[in-house]
Each structure stands twice: as structure tokens, then as C-alpha cells.
Structure 1
Amino acid sequence: MNEKRNCMISRTSALPLIFISVFFHFALGSLEFHFIDQSKSYSEAKTYCRQRYTDLATVESLADMNTLLDLFLTTGDTAWIGLEIGNQFNWHWSRADENTDYFNWEKEETQTLNSEKCAAMSQNGSWLVSDCGDEKNFICHANSDASSNMFIAEAKSWRQAQSHCRSLSSDLVSIHSAEENAADSILSRSQTVWIGLFGDPWKWSSGSNSSFRLWKPNQPDYVNSQQCVVTELKDGGKWNNRNCNAKFSFICQKELSSTPASTRPQTTQSKSTSQQLSTNLTTPQQNSPQFATKTFYYEKSSTVHLDITNVTASTPQHSVTASPTGMGPLSQTTMQSDTVTSRMNSSFMNSEKLILIKKNLTWIEALIYCQKHHVDLVLIDSKDTQDKVAAKVKNATSQYVWLGLCYSCTFKFWFWIGTTPSCYQNWMPGQGPEMVYECGTRGAVEATGRQQWTALAETEEMNFICSENGG
């Protein structure tokens, strides 16, 4: 996967040390995530997070993981998250954070601290503990009521069955009453089938009860004291259990409300969601309440070769606020469900003073330059601003001029780095939201002709326009 999949800074062989912070706001809970690019053991990482933030990160959904993949800039491919071996075996439903308020075991279930177990429904409707690798037919949950659940006559392992259901915008069935159990028993056609119940000894350091798991194939393996968990960002974010003494970068979280981590409300899955994620992490999941925000805050030091003097390697001085523009193919489905907000510097809003910089820099270098010397790369959210930009670029010394316009190769939409959603567009024919682009694609405006927008690789060097507070 192309490592330039975000709107931050990529590492080059360089001079000054720059700190950039990025904020993404999605209605997914009250958290702030921080990526820490330091190698520490799991215990050291947890101590660091608890001293400076709240705890190591709890990842509660595929939407969370997708965002981390799209935005985190890492020097490696592995980072600690807050999942560790506990001293108790617990049962969970595959559908995230549903209550385990009903059981129908044929005999007392086996509890173990050294393996994962999965539940199947027998021919008579009672539940059995089974090895998750066994192959069985299975039942997928419907988006309406239990009578619409789907029997799948394909023998698969529990995880393969889970992936199959999720590819249908569903999940393995969860059961909360004798009535639902009876309905699924009839649906199973007198066969032993997988249901969405699994048990494991893993717990979140934060105290969250989240059942979300994203293990790599054949993981966890419970060998060699591998009792702590990493996310392997270059392998689709999949999780692996590792020896807790190994040293990796890590992800912290910070509570944004006064609610203690152990008691904060859990994300619940909508009964009528239409855009859930399959395990290939391609689209955001819509399974969260819309009354709070989860902020993904990326704290990363990187070196960039720039002709900038007196750069201080200290607390971030600027923020890049990134919000979808409503210009991508997911805007009509995902963003209506996942309300997007943004945290903005007030001087960035409605900026009227635009400065054409006649230096040929890459998009990232241009971004840093504008944030150091002015406010930010320009955003165009109206015809009036477009006209002002068009007047400026006529004096450019390059064929195209950089804008503050980014493309998310994971979510497949365009967004401005510092604005609430905007519908204004001025793309060249054949460009824009109808197209799918490579990671590291950014937006520019042509200096001649009709001054329309185009998509270019962020490594291109050209002039750019900075915004300054008007007045």
C-alpha cells in the first residue's frame, strides 16, 4: 500500500524537524487518538499514555481502523494498541458491543485462558462450544427482524463465516431471547451452524467492553507469552499478539469527556445500517450514535527538506483540519450517517487575503510553508473565492498551482484541509469525484485557461497559494 495515504508529512532525508497535527472528527464516541512514534514495550507504552493522555488506544470498529490506516504516518508498520490478556474468559457477540444477555448452552461452557472459542447452534437449538477453525454452515443477521435472518449453506470457519456475512453488509447472527433462538433454529434446517458468539481472554486496557477484533489469519496463537497486541498498519491494520517486552510505536487515546474509561457508553450497532464494512477495510462503518465526536489526533515528528529557518521542534503550532467536502462517491451514503464536524482556527475561516507563492514546492512542502508563514493552503468553497484564486494564478510561474485539496485513497473522496463540508466544485473535465486516484494525490488549479482544478501527485513541484486572515 502506498505510504503516502494521508495529508500530513512524509519522511525524507532532511533538515529541520517539523511537528504537524491533524484532526479528523467523526461521530463515533468521545475520544482523541494520538500516534506516538517512539519505540517502547507494551508496559512502557501504557505508562506513557496514562501519564500524558488516558490510556492505550481502544479500537472499537472497522471505521476506526480505516481512519487510522488512512491518516497515520508511521516510520514502521507496527504499533501497540490497548488489547492485552486478561485473567477472565468472556463471551462476546460479533456485532460490536451487543449485550450477552441470553445463553442456551447444551452443557456448561468451557472457559479457557489460552485459546479462542466460538459458539455453534446444534440441531435441537442448543449451543455448543466449538473450535473456531471448524467448518460449518452459518446464519447471517438481517437488518430488520430475526425472521429475515439468512441461512448460508456454505461450510466455512467461524472467521470466514464472519467475513462472508460482513461482505453482505451484515454480520453473524446475535441472539438475545428464546424467541429469536427458536426462529434461528428453524432457519438452520436441522444443521449445526455458526452463530456470532465467540469467547476469548482478551481485555482492553482502557476498561472498554468492546468486542471488536481484527486478527490476522491464524492469530492470536497464544505462544511464547505473546500476551499483548499490535496493529500492523502495512498489513491492512490487522492485529497480531506479540511478546509484551518487544518495542514498537504505539497509539494513545484521550477521553474528551469526564466519563471514566471503564464506564463510558459503548458504541452500539444500528439495526438498519446499510453501509457496514467488510473485512477488506474499504468503506466506513455506520454503526455509531451521532451525539458525540471521536477526534483522531496525530502527533508525529518528521523531517522535511525545506528552505525554512528557525524551525523549533516543540509543541505543534498549527493544525490541519481535514473534513470531507461532500465531493466523493461516499458522501451521499457515509457522511449522512457519520456526521462530520471540524475544529478550525477562526483566522482560517472566510480568509479573504490570498498570497501566491512563486516557489516550486511539493504539496507537503507548500502546506508547511503556508502554515509557518501565513495560515494554510487555500481552500475554495465558493464561486467568489474561485474568482479570487483565478486572478492570482494568472501570475504563477508554474503550469499548475497547489490548493489545500486532498484525496483519501481509503475513503475515496476529496476534502479540503480546513473546512466544513463544501459542495462547490470546479474540476476539469474527466477529473474529480467520479474518478479513483492513487494514494498521495492532491488538488491543484491550472494557471491558464479556465483555472479549473486537477489531480496531481503530491511530489510534483509547483507554485501555491496561501490564505491569510482578511482584514
Structure 2
Amino acid sequence: MSLSLSVLMMTSVLLVLSLGLFDFTVGSHLRRVSFFLSKDDDKMNWMDSLNKCKSNESSLVTVYHQEDLGALLKNVPGEEGVQFWSGLRKNQSSVTTWSDGNSLAFNNSQVTSIGDDQICEAMTNITWKAFNCSDRKPFMCYKDNNYILIDKEKDWCQALQYCRRHYTDLVSISNETQNNDVSEKGKNKTFWIGLQHDQWTWVDGSCSTYRNWPKNNNNNPECATFDLNNLHKVQCAIDGGIFCTKGNMRIKVIKNKSTWEGALDYCEENHNGLLWIEDEEDQKAVEQWLNHTEVEGPFWIGLRQSTLFGFWIWKDRTVGYSKWKNGKIPAMPMSNHCGVIDKTSALGQWSDEDCWREHHFLCEEEIAFMNKK
């Protein structure tokens, strides 16, 4: 692994040099949260809140899991009775869709009614079965005319993201023959297919399986707020606090420890890769999570020094923005060759570290969107 990784890094660096891409940028990519609640005027109805987010080139927040709620509310000034808007709103149109946008020409579903729960379809043999989308199962992707069973357990949205990253999409089924072919490829397992039933949509179009409604919240409003524990269905006209988010990569704090190369392998296998930081906006997004997580640092990030040229790179791109400790870039021959980000003594500062030491680490995971962007 060490030799092949070094060769890969050298090849990447040479490519960067030959193409003159030292100023290569793609814009801020890490998901960052901002909130507005400093005065009464900052509380708005759902639509005005959405428009305020749009004016900042962002959207009302999508909640992905319970940890997300803790991170969102950790540093918000306490104010009794304040409700915070989520980007979740009830659909006015069709609620049953294939993830790749194909029409529902063939339907073997046994779902007859859809409440406020999010329902996704899985296949066992040739039978379609409905499950909560947050359940974890194997899944089937497709590319061209090939069906690929992935024997890893993921929730439906994670399965969707995986299929789009490595293949084309979760499998959709348009006729009886295709249904039988997919079943045969399924090897008698129960696996996700690309059909979802959901009356609610996140306004930014992202896919999230989080639907933690309280048991007594059975009324029919069309918007949703949240607190530390739950989502709540409310009238869209009430006033609420505003959380806005932008960025297409979620930050994942990994609680087990590994060497830098072990962290790289883990992140590429289970997410999109070790986290990299494009600019100051990304840096602030990371600091938000470091300030929230109880996991102690330092954390490996995707930062490594070229042992051939001496400059620091993010896998296949050179470092533009940086936040090195004491403002000094670690230089050979005294430097270690891998990079960490600190949480304790110097929040968010980078430093060099021996690649063979074991640390917690940060991965990044691409957000899946129901409609491809």
C-alpha cells in the first residue's frame, strides 16, 4: 500500500504540475450551517425563511440523523419556546418515484396508502416489500444493462449515493421480465431497489431518511420544525428560527483510530474519502463539527506531503487555502509527511504528524439528491 500510494501521489503531482493547476478550485464543498436568531425580526414563516436562505446562496436545513440535531443546536442561544424551521415540506404531487426518474410503468408494490413515514421498497425473490427507508439492507445498482448486487448494508439514501458514485443508480424495474432478471441477480437476499414512497420532501432535494416524528404529532400541517429530539408538523405561517446550509459533502467523525493510510482506505471504502479543505468556508464547516463532537483529536485529514517535491497536497490537488499552526508550512527534512487538524489547544489548526501514528479521522460523504444534479 505504501509504495503504490507513493507512486499514485507522484503521478498525481506530476499531472498537476504539467497541467499548471496550482490554482485549481471547485468552490466550497463541505456542508456548513448558519443560523439567524439574534432578534425577533429574524423569526419568519417557512417561505420567508427559505427566501432568506436563498439570498445567502443556501437552503433551509436538511436533518440527516439525531447527531445532526445536536450539532445544529449546540451553539444556538437558548430561548424558550423557539421553533426552528427544517427544509421539510409536504408534497403536493406524486409521492411514489423511482430514484432514476423512470416512470412507474410497472408496479409490484403492496403499498396501498402512504402516511407521514418514508417507505422504501426492497425485493425478496420476486416479491416487493415495504420497509422504513432508515433500515439497513444490501442493495442493487445498475449500469447500462447490468445489475449489480452490493452485499453491504446501508440505509436507502446511502445506497442511492453509493450506486450513483460507482455505477448509475439504484435499480428501477419497468416490466415483468426485468423484475425476474433483478430477482435472479438478488441471490435470495432482501435488497433495496430504487422505489420510494414519501409525502414529504426536503426543499434542497437531498435524500435523508430522518423522520423522527413524535407519536402524538398526527395533525396535517404541511411544514416541519425541529428541536433537540424530534421533528414537528406545524402550520407554515408561524414564525420560527432559521438554519441555512450549503455544500454537498457531509463531514463524518470516525471514532476508531487508524494510521493515515488506514484512514484513507476506510474513508474511500465507506464514504467518499478523507476530508479535504478547499477554502475558508470549508475550514469553518470543519470547526463547527470539531466544536460539537465529543471525540478527542487530533484528526487525520486528507493532507499529505510529497516526499519528492516537498509541497503539501490533497490526494490529487495542491493545497491552496491553509491554516498551519503558527502560520508555518512544515518543510523537509524536518517535517512529518501527513496532516492532522487539532481540536483542543488550537481549534482547527493544521500540523504535520508521523503517518504511522494512530488517530481519529474525518471522512467526507457526498449528499445524495433525489433528482440528480
- TM-score by length of structure 1 reads 0.40
- TM-score by length of structure 2 reads 0.47
Greater Cα radius of gyration, structure 1 or 2: 1
Relative to its length, the structure with more helix (as a share) is 2
